[in-house]
């Protein structure tokens, strides 16, 4: 299920969810686009979101980020901080000057790329798995920001 708010989301999973300051807007075709100030923008699948202006944060679980390249219009450029190879999974810890926390990407299996700290890579969120949060931390769902139960 989906967490009711940012506080709950911060405890779920390992590594924990990536939380980023964001703005949302509806384009002329009615699609929702998320802007991460200083980092980039990407479309999401949330056409039922009643009030994009309510969105202040996005949450993306590490397993819902994937590697891409700079030609991808949804690519976010980040710098590798550390690569943790766990056998059944690979976790890439990343940073960007505009984001105060370390970000994490979790891939199933081994990673063939020889990544080193300081390397720049491009990642993209899975549009259907982005969580939207209001400024007060409530989850924004299809319709409006909902109160936590």
Q: Are 78 and 95 in contact (CB under 8 A)?
A: yes
Cα four-point dihedral sign 35, 64, 66, 90? positive
pLDDT at 46: 67
Task: Give the tens place of pLDDT for each residue, 110-147.
Answer: 888 889 999 999 999 998 889 999 999 999 864 334 43
What is the pLDDT averaged over residues 103-113?
90
Structure tokens at 109: 């299996």
Task: Give the tens place of pLDDT for each residue, 71-101.
Answer: 998 899 999 999 999 989 999 999 999 888 8
What is the pLDDT averaged over residues 30-49?
83
Burial of 142 (0-12, 13-18, 19+ CB in 10 A): exposed
pTM of the model: 0.86
C-beta neighbour count of 61 within 10 angstroms: 21
Percent residues over pLDDT 70 in the chain = 91
Contacts of 59 (CB under 8 A, 6+ apart): 3, 6, 9, 17, 18, 19, 20, 130, 131, 132, 133
pLDDT at 58: 93
107-111 contacts at long range (C-beta below 8 A, 24 or more positions apart): 107/66, 107/67, 108/63, 110/85, 111/83, 111/85
Q: Is the pLDDT of residue 21 over 50?
A: yes
Mean pLDDT of the chain: 86
């Amino acid at each position: 299920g989906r967490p009711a708010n940012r506080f709950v989301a911060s405890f779920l999973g390992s590594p924990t969810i990536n939380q980023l300051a964001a703005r949302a807007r509806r384009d002329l075709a009615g699609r929702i686009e998320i802007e991460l100030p200083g980092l980039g923008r990407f479309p999401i699948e949330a056409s039922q979101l009643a009030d994009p202006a309510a969105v202040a944060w996005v949450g993306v679980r590490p397993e819902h980020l994937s590697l891409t390249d700079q030609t991808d219009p949804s690519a976010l450029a980040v710098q590798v901080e550390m690569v943790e190879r766990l056998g059944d999974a690979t976790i890439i810890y990343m940073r960007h000057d505009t984001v105060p926390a370390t970000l994490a990407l979790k891939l199933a299996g081994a990673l063939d790329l020889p990544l080193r700290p300081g390397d720049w890579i491009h990642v993209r969120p899975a549009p259907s798995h982005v969580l939207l949060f209001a400024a007060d931390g409530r989850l924004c769902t299809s319709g409006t920001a909902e109160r936590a139960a």
